[in-house]
Amino acid sequence: MTEKDVAEDKRALRQQIKMQRAARVLDPELASIFCTHLAELSLVIGAKKIAAYLPYEGEPDIELFLDWALDQAIEVVLPVANQDGSLSWVKFDGGTKIGIHGFAEASGSCSSLTEIDLAVIPALAVSIDGVRLGKGKGYYDRAFEKLDAEVPVVAVIYSEELLEQVPSEQHDLVVSMVLTPSGFTHF
């Protein structure tokens, strides 16, 4: 399969999943389920600092988990997209602003991924061997390529987005585990 074929397969799969998410009926109970699973994991590993995301465009809602983490005095750092294709990280204090791509991003003070104990990231799909399909700009691939291998990286997706295979390229991020409403799958 050529690079062009892989890119086209990724584009088609992204489009399919985005359409499925757009048709999804909002289920507030899912946010509670994701929160419970992520809170339990955070307690088990003794997380003091976590990297996470603010959901948008149908991404699994983890905002209850972010609130829980802040209530537990866990430092939460969230990404802010930069024009150069990189992510900066800010300490989340509950405030948001509109970012360069037109959606809400955290507006806290500068931070970094240094000393994080857990990374909770969005994905459109993940393969059964942990290959993550993102939205196609490579932000998370680049941000986590140098992360300490001991730090668990959890992609949060809906059950039907855990797939046998995801078209991939060498630079694509491989996650440690995936969280669906039914629980964690470790790789």
pLDDT at 1 over 80: no
Reported residue count of the chain is 187
Portion of the chain with pLDDT greater than 90, in percent: 78
pLDDT at 109 over 80: yes
Helices (H), 58-106: 63-71
What residue ranges define each of the domains in the chain, with the CATH number in brackets?
Answer: 3-186 (3.40.50.10420)
Specify the range with the lowest mean pLDDT, choosing from 24-28, 43-47, 74-78, 122-126: 24-28
pLDDT digits (tens, 9 = 90+) for 41-84: 999 999 999 999 999 989 999 999 999 999 999 999 999 999 99
Q: pTM for the full model?
A: 0.94
Average pLDDT, the chain: 94
**pLDDT value of position 8:** 94
pLDDT at 95 over 90: no
pLDDT interval class at 141 (50, 70, 90): very high
- Count of CB atoms situated within 10 Å of the CB of 131: 21
